Amino acid sequence: MKHVYLDNAATTQVHTTVIAKMQDALANSYGNPSSTHSFGRTAKTAIESARKTIAKYINAQPSEIIFTSGGTEADNMIIRCSVRDLDVKTIITSKIEHHAVLHTVEELEKKGSIQLLFVNLDAFGNPDMAHLETLLQSDDSKKLVSLMHVNNEIGNKIDLEAITLLSKKHGALVHSDTVQSLGHYNWDVKAFPIDFLAAAAHKFHGPKGIGFAFIRKNSGMSCMISGGSQERGLRAGTESFHNIVGLEEAFVHAYENLDREKKYVEELKSYFIEKVKKEIPEAKFNGHSGDLDKSTYTLVNVCLPITEDKAMMLLFNLDIKGIACSKGSACQSGSDAGSHVLNEILSIEDMKKPSVRFSFSSYNTKEEIDYTIGVLKDIIEA
């Protein structure tokens, strides 16, 4: 059976060089980084080298990179510590954020810790800048604006620099879940004054279970996890050394090959869009995912002209044919509630049809896309 992996927004294949570096770390650098003997010092030196490497690629200071277990922990750390330590009383976000953000802010609101405000979205899922400014001016409370740079379901790419500058004009802190963005776009955190970012290695061919938070120097935050002085005192616990060096290797590979791989994947996405328009003309691209200028080059989200009875078995039938993709995000795959993102932007009629996210990497080929479109067409016409 043919195997086609088009679910790279959920997780990516780990590069062979990353695996090799992690294996070497597990075999030869097994000292506890907090130990003062040579075994510990070797591991500690490698961790600090990884921190400097990552900081260099996004133009941050090494002390601003805090290793976490992934994007979800980074988002939680930033949001919860902003409320606890930085006197944030109001959080402004959108209803199409990742649940790592949405569930966290909803819990804080339920506990009475914050006032929660949602910025209006246009028909494509973009934040309304005029409404955002109205929310920023709503009262004198300390505010945190949390909006993701690239949406994980529909791929919309927002103007994060404009949002940051507007928010700063009104004295707000700014956080962005950049899990679908870091490793895929060049970043310069000195170019505009964003306060916090979150990243996950497994979105750019690194290991699962490791990521980092960018926390602007002198933020005033203290630890969320207590028990030791690791990670500049912001995250206690023995560092996952092999994962950290794997993250570093994946990050270096991503940025050293960014232009070439971006061009290749962009061509794959463009080819996919052309094939869908030609072979399945009644299909619609959700959000801005069909627009190469307004969305990430790594994914499309397609509303397919399939009857309700076929829709229930669509992902199963694709899986039978060896095609891996997602209905909504992978984090929601066990839920029957449907995509909260699509619920915000699609009509009632289109919500009755299946929408599928196909996401690409440099490991994919045009032949795989031809096969996938052929299988989709056969299912629709059967």
Tokens representing 357 are 């996210």
What CA–CA distances, in Å, run from 276 to 270, 299, 372? 10, 14, 10
Active-site annotation holds for 325: no
Of 250, 224, 242, nearest to 73 (Cα)?
224
Q: What is the largest CA-CA distance in the chain?
A: 67
Transcribe 198-256 into DSSP letters.
Answer: EEEGGGTT--TT-EEEEE-TT-----SB-SS-TGGGTB-S---HHHHHHHHHHHHHHHH
With beta carbons less than 8 A apart as the criterion, state whether 214 and 234 touch: no
With beta carbons less than 8 A apart as the criterion, state whether 300 and 273 touch: yes
Q: Which residues of 111-137 are buried (b: 16+ CB within 10 A; e: fewer)?
A: eebbbebbbebeeebbbeeeebeebbe
Question: Of 81, 223, 303, 331, which residue is the catalytic one?
Answer: 331
Of 287, 241, 333, nearest to 47 (Cα)?
241
* Residues involved in catalysis: 331
